[in-house]
Amino acid sequence: MAESTGAIYTAAGANLAIAAAKFTGAFLTGSTAMLAEGAHSVVDTANQILLLVGLKRAEKPADARHPFGYGREIYFYAFIVALMIFLGGGIFAIYEGAEKIMHPEPAADATIFGYRLSGFWVNLAILGFAILAEGYSCLVALRAFWAEKGADSPVSAIRRSKDPALFTILVEDIAALLGLLIALAGVVAAHLLDRPALDGWASIGIGLVLVGMAIFLMIETHGLLIGEAADPEVVAAIAEIVRSEPGVRHVNEILTQHLGPSDILVNLSLDMADDLSGAEIESAVTRLDRALRARNAEVTRVFIEIQSREASRSGQAP
């Protein structure tokens, strides 16, 4: 989780500075693409604050009302972030772009400290600064993500990750860089071809990128929010430990669920040897509980029910 927090702070600082620069450029030159990018950066900054709130709330200890803790708070806040990207960034950018296409106006010159500067060059300078700042933020997020993903491909790692804060920041930064490149292309094309409407089309392109990224994040965080099983490797390790216990005749069922990025609940249904006494079964259950927690620190809750194989298949009570 430390990697997530560091990447979030870096992204928030970069986006706050970038938003101020973009809005200044939009105010001075009238660029719609720059305005859309400014709104995007404000939304991103708010999103990072929400993720930090989610991470903090997820650390709250379990209580009587929430006996399994608050780990899923981060999943809820990550879903809200995806929704904000969709509405606050994507839809706004598309709307502003459509307005610019219907009412095109060339970029206005800017007067700074008494000097008159071309709006085109002002926009280029701001976009250049934004690309550098966003690139650094993306590099920090990419390094944190790469350290976590292991041998998996990036897409597979995102789909398997149970830490939405980390992959949300990475996806946001990638979307931001794509948006900046689209804005840059729109500003340059509108200037060189003398077609201000191209600035509006760039804004729509930025909006479509954000909408696509938001939908992807919604799908990923939705699965975590309603409850996802642990990775197959974790389940396989659990099965290996359980089968190594001498008194276990058959593993009826292994159920796992992430209650948070590093909080796995394990529920086992086991058919134990008939000749075991109650005390021996109790000892076996204790050993399994300790072994599972020792094998994987993310396994925080273990529930074991003893029932015959036949009863398990028929769904009867033990």
3-state helix, strand, coil in the chain (%, to 5): 70, 10, 20
Low-confidence ranges of the chain (pLDDT < 70): 1-4, 33, 106-117, 119, 149-151, 311-318
**Nearest partner of 164 among 212, 223, 209, 208, judged by Cα:** 223
pLDDT, position 119 = 67
pLDDT, position 316 = 52
d(Cα 56, Cα 51) in Å, to the nearest integer?
Answer: 9
- Dihedral, CA atoms, 296, 298, 304, 309, nearest 10 degrees? -70
| SS3 call for 176 | helix
d(Cα 145, Cα 107) in Å, to the nearest integer?
Answer: 39
201-236 burial code (b ≥16 CB/10 A, e <16): bbbbbbbbbbbebbebbbebbeebbeebebbeebbe
| SS3 call for 116 | strand
Rounded CA Rg of the chain: 26
Beta bridge partners of 302: 266
pLDDT, position 130 = 83
DSSP string, 217-275: HHHHHHHHHH--PPPHHHHHHHHHHHHTSTTEEEEEEEEEEEEETTEEEEEEEEEE-TT
Tokens of 202: 């760039």
Residues 85, 43 contacting (CB under 8 angstroms): yes
Residue 215 belongs to what H/E stretch? helix 197-226
Q: Which domains are assigned to the chain?
A: 2-226 (1.20.1510.10), 232-314 (3.30.70.1350)
Sheet order of strands, 299-306 included: 248-260, 263-272, 299-306
Token pair 């996802």 is at which residue?
228
φ, ψ of residue 267 to 5 degrees: the values are -125, 125
d(Cα 276, Cα 262) in Å, to the nearest integer?
Answer: 35
pLDDT, position 318 = 44
Token pair 């029932």 is at which residue?
307
pLDDT, position 140 = 81
d(Cα 25, Cα 125) in Å, to the nearest integer?
Answer: 9
Residues 267, 259 contacting (CB under 8 angstroms): no
